[in-house]
């Protein structure tokens, strides 16, 4: 039975959603509902059988299923109401949620909502690869599910377009399963994922990497028979005369992730032009009072531990909102400056310690991170694929001049 008396309703049960629901319950909300469209909790963690999870949050090296099970058990122990195989059809600015499952359609009005829908992969259509439409073209995440959950090998001779983390992890996984990864093709002049995956998944397995290249054609009619790749110029356009063919029966796409935000848009939540996710303040609250957001639907994280921490913050503040506690005024805007792609959150109070997360636009060595004139931090190397975390302590914030309404976050070359 779905109750009409809901303090906090969380949409999505991946690491952000589970963490938000647990924290909302622990923060005093009696009626917490967790809505999931799939048949089980955990999001995509069950198919991520590689390690590297929990290093920050648990100080342990865990697989995705191990990490997820910790939170699934806590959700069940917390007596959070879980609605599986339930689709959210509609979300309004005044927090009316229309759900649909095997029991029918119902509209609810929770006091607070946490958006935790995660993200999805870009497809071939997103990047417009010419050629026929044969079998054998998969996103890396789909291939990951096929191999790790369903027990199927998508192909024997593989080319991977893009060097995102899932793509690199699948390069290693497929090699271990006996397939031959003939190349990882990356349009950028550098690898697009974490350094540890670059080393452990590509270099350790001697998988060829073609930087500043892209796939310009897919060969084959019934099944992929090969791809044509070419070098690109500084504007990422193929250079005529550099084309070459690679025989393969499978093309995997690891070309970026997109926050799931159809519901956010429906509710009139302001979305960032760079992240594609909701603009949030330090409480992880959107421009719609009582609607919070966390995890990969806000911005695509590189570590699940950070997703969890954002979920906890959203859940705690959603519980406070549900209890009627007044929200502090967010009077200071954080702006992305030199060589900074985006900053999360976009608004802060300036009155209490806050963690900000950011990504740079271009890799650089020997840089100084600056937050206005209140904080500087020297780093040896920065990369777009490695998210940076900065803690603005009360000491830093006390350095602000009276009346400050904006802080520019920049990444400047030393000297």
Q: What is the pLDDT of residues 31-70, one digit of tens each?
A: 999 999 999 999 999 999 999 999 999 999 999 999 999 9
Same-domain status, 201 and 299: no
Strands 340-344 and 180-186: unpaired
Same-domain status, 139 and 248: yes
Same-domain status, 262 and 154: no
Distances (CA, A) of 148 to 44, 47, 50, 135, 205: 11, 6, 10, 20, 19
CB 122, CB 259: distance < 8 Å: no
Per residue in 273-314, pLDDT (tens digit) is 999 999 999 999 999 999 999 999 999 999 999 999 999 999
- Tell the burial category of 217 from Cβ atoms under 10 Å away from its Cβ (0-12, 13-18, 19+): middle
Structure confidence at residue 3 (pLDDT): 63
Structure confidence at residue 2 (pLDDT): 62
Query: Alpha carbon 332 to chain centroid distance?
Result: 25
- Residue 286's CATH number: 3.50.50.60
pLDDT at 231 over 90: yes
Helix (H, G, I), strand (E, B) or coil at 188: coil
Q: Which of 322, 345, 376 is the last residue of a domain?
A: 322
pLDDT at 344 over 90: yes
Number of domains, the chain: 3
Per residue in 293-302, pLDDT (tens digit) is 999 999 999 9
pLDDT at 1 over 60: no
Same-domain status, 374 and 281: no
Mean pLDDT over the full length of the chain? 95
- Tell the burial category of 122 from Cβ atoms under 10 Å away from its Cβ (0-12, 13-18, 19+): middle
Same-domain status, 248 and 136: yes
Q: How confident is the model at residue 258 (pLDDT cuts 50, 70, 90)?
A: very high
Helix (H, G, I), strand (E, B) or coil at 219: strand
Q: Determine the Cα–Cα distance for residues 37 and 233; give it in Å rounded to an integer.
A: 43
Q: Determine the Cα–Cα distance for residues 296 and 291; give it in Å rounded to an integer.
A: 16
Same-domain status, 26 and 83: yes
Same-domain status, 242 and 291: no
Structure confidence at residue 34 (pLDDT): 98
User: How many residues does this entry show for the chain?
Assistant: 415
pLDDT at 4 over 90: no
Q: Whose CA is closest to 297, among 309, 287, 311, 283?
A: 311
pLDDT at 272 over 70: yes
Over range 183-210, report the average pLDDT. 95
Same-domain status, 95 and 59: yes
Strands 104-108 and 87-91: unpaired
3 inside domain: no
Q: Determine the Cα–Cα distance for residues 351 and 371; give it in Å rounded to an integer.
A: 15
Q: Whose CA is closest to 185, among 157, 154, 207, 153?
A: 207
Same-domain status, 226 and 138: yes
Helix (H, G, I), strand (E, B) or coil at 70: helix
Same-domain status, 130 and 191: yes
**Structural domain boundaries, residue 272:** 8-120+258-322
Same-domain status, 127 and 115: no
Per residue in 360-401, pLDDT (tens digit) is 999 999 999 999 999 999 999 999 999 999 999 999 999 999
Q: Which of 255, 272, 300 is the last residue of a domain?
A: 255
The pTM score is: 0.94
Per residue in 65-96, pLDDT (tens digit) is 999 999 999 999 998 999 999 999 999 999 99
Same-domain status, 181 and 239: yes
């Amino acid at each position: 039975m779905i109750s009409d008396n809901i303090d906090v309703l969380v949409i999505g049960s991946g690491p952000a959603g589970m963490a938000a629901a647990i924290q909302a319950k622990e923060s005093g909300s009696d009626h917490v509902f967790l809505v999931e469209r799939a048949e089980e909790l955990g999001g995509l963690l069950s198919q991520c059988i590689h390690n590297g999870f929990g290093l920050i949050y648990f100080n342990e090296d865990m697989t995705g299923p191990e990490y997820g099970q910790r939170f699934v058990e806590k959700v069940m122990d917390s007596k959070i109401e879980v609605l599986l195989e339930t689709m959210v059809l509609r979300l309004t600015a005044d927090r009316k949620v229309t759900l649909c499952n095997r029991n029918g359609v119902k509209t609810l009005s929770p006091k607070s909502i946490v958006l935790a829908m995660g993200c999805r992969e870009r497809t071939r259509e997103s990047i417009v690869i010419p050629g026929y439409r044969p079998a054998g073209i998969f996103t890396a995440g789909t291939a990951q599910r096929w191999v790790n959950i369903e027990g199927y090998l998508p192909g024997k001779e593989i080319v991977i377009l893009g060097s995102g983390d899932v793509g690199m992890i699948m390069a290693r996984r497929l090699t271990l399963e006996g397939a031959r990864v003939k190349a990882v093709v990356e349009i950028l002049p550098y690898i697009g994922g974490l350094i540890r995956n670059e080393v452990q998944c590509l270099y350790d397995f001697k998988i060829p990497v073609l930087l500043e290249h892209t796939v310009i054609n897919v060969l084959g009619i019934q099944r992929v028979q090969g791809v044509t790749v070419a070098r690109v110029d500084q504007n990422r356009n193929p250079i005529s005369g550099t084309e070459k063919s690679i025989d393969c029966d499978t093309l995997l796409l690891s070309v970026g992730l997109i926050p799931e935000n159809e519901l956010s848009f429906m509710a009139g939540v302001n979305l960032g032009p760079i992240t594609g996710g909701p603009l949030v303040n330090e409480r992880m609250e959107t421009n719609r009072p009582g609607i919070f957001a966390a995890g990969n639907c806000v911005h695509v994280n590189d570590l699940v531990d950070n997703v969890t921490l954002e979920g906890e913050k959203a859940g705690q503040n959603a519980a406070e909102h549900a209890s009627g506690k007044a929200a502090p005024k967010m009077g200071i805007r954080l702006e992305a400056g030199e060589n900074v792609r985006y900053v999360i959150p976009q608004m802060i109070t300036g009155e209490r310690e806050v963690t900000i997360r950011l990504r740079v636009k271009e890799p650089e060595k020997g840089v100084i991170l600056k937050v206005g004139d209140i904080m500087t931090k020297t780093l040896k190397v920065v990369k777009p694929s490695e998210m940076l975390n900065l803690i603005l302590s009360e000491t830093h914030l006390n350095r602000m001049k009276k009346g400050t309404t904006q802080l520019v976050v920049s990444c400047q070359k030393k000297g």
